Each structure stands twice: as structure tokens, then as C-alpha cells.
Copies of this chain bind each other. A is one copy, B any other.
Amino acid sequence: MDALKQAMASAAVDVEATLQKVMESEDEPERRLFDSMRYAALGGGKRLRPFLVMQGAGLFSVSRKSARRAAAAIELVHCYSLVHDDLPAMDDDDLRRGKPTVHKAFDEATAILAGDALLTLAFEVLSHPDTHSNPEVRCMLVAALARAAGAHGMVGGQMIDLAAADREMDIGEITRLQRLKTGALIGFACEAGAILGQAGEPQHEALRGYAHDLGLAFQIADDLLDVEGTAEEVGKAVGKDADQGKATFVSILGPERARDQATMLVEQAAAHLAIFDEKADFLRKVAQYIVERRS
């Protein structure tokens, strides 16, 4: 796992530099907005999605610069979603990545605007010629990110999640919820390299299959951490799903079967990558890492 951790750290450094660059600001009256955006997006998180982009891009000889910018765009969207999800009207969380959430460190209005600006910036980054010389590719990235992040993807999933405390859900409904809420963006992260590398349909298909299983494994691991982890380890409040009576993979399957399911999904995820050579090894390993992580 040491080589994997090094590769993850290296992707994190890469994306951090790109994020810093695209959020530079002058000392204008709106400075507070940029401060809150940087607070939300810099210096934290596992940077899993950027790592998936970088590794996916590595399968198709995509330039590191292109990969970095696509990775940064996805991380901007991920960070915006955390800022808005943490708001008092949503999950009302005070702690994120081990520090106060944006609306706690700044204020609610600033947090709303920071999220809006991070989301918007993601599309500015993707559409810029620096991301890829071919505008067709850039358009495909924009379209795919918008689809993954919007009402038919992440935001739709969050809407279902908000209603989840009020109604019984079966395992099929929870799976669909998670496929939208976290799966769609992870799916785009896994496929972005194939879009950048203008890969063939079998490669896209393989990465979509991988992402589908990885996303669910990731979510089950998250649910397990919410039950078994401590706030100190995880960097955010735990036990919230149970407190709110929300159905999760763990509440329905129980921790043991949930863990088995995650292990099975990890193997299945790796199996989708059979068409790739050893360049996909880190993608194979990160699936394992995801279900074993403690934070």
C-alpha cells in the first residue's frame, strides 16, 4: 500500500497546486469570497476523485496538465457539494475534514456563495483551452460533469437523501440514492481520463463498470465509518444517520453483511479493469484501500 499512498499523495499535491492557481484573487472587496473558496477547497481531504482522474488519465497517455485540470474541476465540484450539504438547512454539520465547516468559519451567506462560485469555477476550468487542445473533448467534459453533478446526478441524490429520514427505503432505493449522490461524480472521475484520451467505447465501458462498483463500495465504507469510526478519525461528526433514523446499507444489511458486500464489490470493481495492463494497478489497489480506510 505504500506505493499507492505515495501516488495518492502525489496526485493531491498536483491538484492542490492547480486549485491554488485557479482561485487566485486580488485584494478586492469580494476577497472574503475567495478566502472562503480557498478554505473550502485547499489543504484537506483524501483527494480520492483527483487521484481517480490522474490514474484514469495515465491509462491513455493524457498529458499531466490536462489530467490535473480535470481533477481540479471535479474536486471543486466535490468541495462545493460538501459546503452546501453542511449548511444548517441541509445536514447542519459543524465539522468537516477536522475543521469548522465554511458556514461556521465564515457565515451562512458566504458559504452559499462559496459553493456557488466553486461549482461555477469547475466549468470555467474545464472549458479553458489549457485543459485540452480539442474543444470537442472539453465540451464532452463539461457535459459529463454537468450531468453527473446536476439534478440527474449528485443534486438529485442529495434531494432523495434529505427526504430519506422521513420514509422507509429498501436496499434498491438506497442503492439508487447513492448511485446519484456519490456514484455519479465518482463515475465521472473514473471516466474523465478516457474522455481526455479519446479512448474507445470498451475502455469507457470498463471504467464505468469499475466506477459503479467502486462508488457503492465507497459508500458502504462511509456508512460503516459513520457507525464504527470516531469524529477524530473521520474528521466529521459520526453516528448521524442512526440518530436521524436514516436507512443506510449498514442499517439494512447489518455491519457484517455490509462489509462482505463491500469486499465483493471491490473484487468486482477490479475485474472490470481486466482489459488494462499494469498501468491500472493503482486503480485496482485503491478499491481495496477505500474499504479498509479509517477516515
Contacts and interface: CB of A to CB of B under 8 A. Distances in A.
Interface of A: 23, 25, 28-30, 32-34, 37, 80, 84, 87, 89-90, 107-110, 112-113, 115-117, 119-121, 123-124, 126-129, 134-136, 138-140, 142-143, 145-147, 149-151, 155-160, 162-163, 173, 176-177, 180
Contact of A124 (B29, B128, B146): B146
Contacts of A142: 123-124, 126-127, 139, 142
Given A37-B151, A120-B155, A127-B139, A109 B162 contact: yes
Given A30-B160, A33-B156, A109-B89, A127 B146 contact: yes
A30 B124 contact: no
A90 B89 CA distance: 13
A160 B29 contact: yes
Given A108-B89, A135-B136, A142-B127, A116 B84 contact: yes
Given A124-B146, A128-B143, A113 B163 contact: no
A121 B136 contact: no
Top-10 shortest CB links A-B? A124-B146, A89-B108, A120-B150, A127-B142, A33-B159, A117-B151, A30-B156, A127-B143, A135-B135, A135-B136
A155 B124 contact: no
B29 A116 contact: no
26 contacts: A29-B159, A29-B176, A33-B151, A34-B151, A37-B151, A84-B112, A89-B108, A90-B109, A90-B112, A109-B162, A110-B159, A110-B162, A112-B112, A115-B116, A116-B116, A116-B119, A117-B156, A119-B120, A120-B149, A120-B155, A123-B142, A124-B146, A124-B147, A135-B136, A139-B139, A142-B142
Nearest to A142: B127
A155 B109 contact: no
Contacts of A120: 119, 146, 149-151, 155
A56 B279 CA distance: 50
Given A108-B89, A155-B113, A155-B116, A146 B121 contact: yes
A156 to B, nearest CB: 4
B112 A89 contact: yes
A149 B34 CA distance: 14
A142 B215 CA distance: 28
Nearest to A145: B123
A138 B127 CA distance: 9
Given A119-B120, A128-B143, 16 more contacts: A23-B151, A29-B160, A29-B163, A30-B151, A30-B180, A33-B156, A87-B112, A89-B112, A117-B151, A120-B149, A124-B143, A124-B150, A134-B135, A135-B135, A135-B138, A135-B139
